[in-house]
Amino acid sequence: MQTILDDVSQESPPQDAPLDDASATAAPAPKQRLTLLEAIAPYPNYSAWLFNKHHWDQHVKSKGDRRKMQTEVFANPLFDSKEAAFVDLEGIDKKLSSSTNESFSQRLDDRFGRGWKTSTISIDVPHGVKKKKKNAHPTAEECRFEVPNVLHRSIPDVVCDAFKQPSGKSFHYTPFREYWERPDTKTTENVYGQFYSSAAFIEAHDELQNSPPEPDCSLPRAVAGIFMASDCAHLTDTGTAKIHPFNVLIANNDKYENGKPKSHAVHPVMVLPPLPDTIHDFANKLYNGKTKAPDNPIFTHCRREYYHGGLGLLFDAEFWQM
């Protein structure tokens, strides 16, 4: 038994949807083919890319390196020395190291969604100097450690974009209460299966409908719910390389749709890299060269502040306004 609270949307709960609609089959591989220039951007031509690739692949100069230069670069039928002769390779190296070139940003947008940008997270490292030693206090700037190029994007933009997609037509805007009636006693119990049938969603919906409307606006109003998902991810089977991705899912979507890989219902909003190891050298300088162990509480504090700094990028003024 279901009770629909009002009629913001004609979309009804999926009572009789076939089982295949809820199956989590594997998502098809993306069918994207880049042109050669798109694949090697920001290099202007293949010859410059091939020459610089050889330079960075060979860490030690040797006779073997010289032979590879002859066989893999000069002997390559696509290599043209005139094309590579006057390319600003140092400038290209700077673009690649900063990850701010337009081609990189475009490929990132194509793969993970639009609106990505980079920001710097600043954390204040405790200096440990007692208050009575006023002259020995490091300045606030000297205690500030910065982590640049943290990738993130606006949660409000992601939510608005998700509702504009074709899949948004199946989102649920009208909450409902669902009950199960005991066959023996005929008493009813609440059944909770979807976020948009939860008490919290219904409460938010009622609060919105009872609030004053926007000036000169008669459009129907509905709650947009989101899930936040975050966990540390190891990048390789061996070693310690890891990242910390943050994702958003739309709570108005059916939970089975959110769980299907082919629905692409998970929207990445931030990739938080580990706190750089240079934090140890930075802290040692604050403590006059005294080495601090990696498990020192100072670094626990710094990692927490770094994580909170990442949350600050996501939960900005635009987010709270939304």
Residue-wise pLDDT for 205-214, tens only, equals 999 999 999 9
In this prediction, residue 101 carries a pLDDT of: 46
Phi and psi, residue 137, nearest 5°: -65, 130
Q: Is the pLDDT of residue 249 over 90?
A: yes
The two tokens of residue 7 are 């009629």
Residue-wise pLDDT for 163-180, tens only, equals 998 888 899 999 888 889
**Mean pLDDT (whole number) for 23-32:** 57
In this prediction, residue 63 carries a pLDDT of: 83
The residues spanned by each domain of the chain are: 35-112, 116-173+223-322, 174-215
- Cβ–Cβ under 8 Å, residues 267 and 249: yes
In this prediction, residue 284 carries a pLDDT of: 83
CA 297 from chain centre, in angstroms, equals 28
In this prediction, residue 205 carries a pLDDT of: 94
CA 149 from chain centre, in angstroms, equals 13
pLDDT band at 311 (very low <50, low <70, confident <90, very high): very high
Name the residue among 165, 198, 158, 173 with its Cα closest to residue 319. 158
> What is the residue-averaged pLDDT of the chain?
83
Phi and psi, residue 134, nearest 5°: -65, -40
Residue-wise pLDDT for 82-140, tens only, equals 999 889 998 888 877 765 445 555 566 556 667 888 899 999 988 776 666 556 677 77
Cross-strand partners of 118: 151
Residue-wise pLDDT for 272-303, tens only, equals 988 888 888 888 888 776 767 777 888 899 99
Q: Which residue has the higher pLDDT, 14 or 45?
A: 45
pTM greater than the 0.85 cutoff:
no
In this prediction, residue 110 carries a pLDDT of: 56
Q: With H, G, I as helix, E, B as strand and everything else as coil, classify residue 148.
A: strand
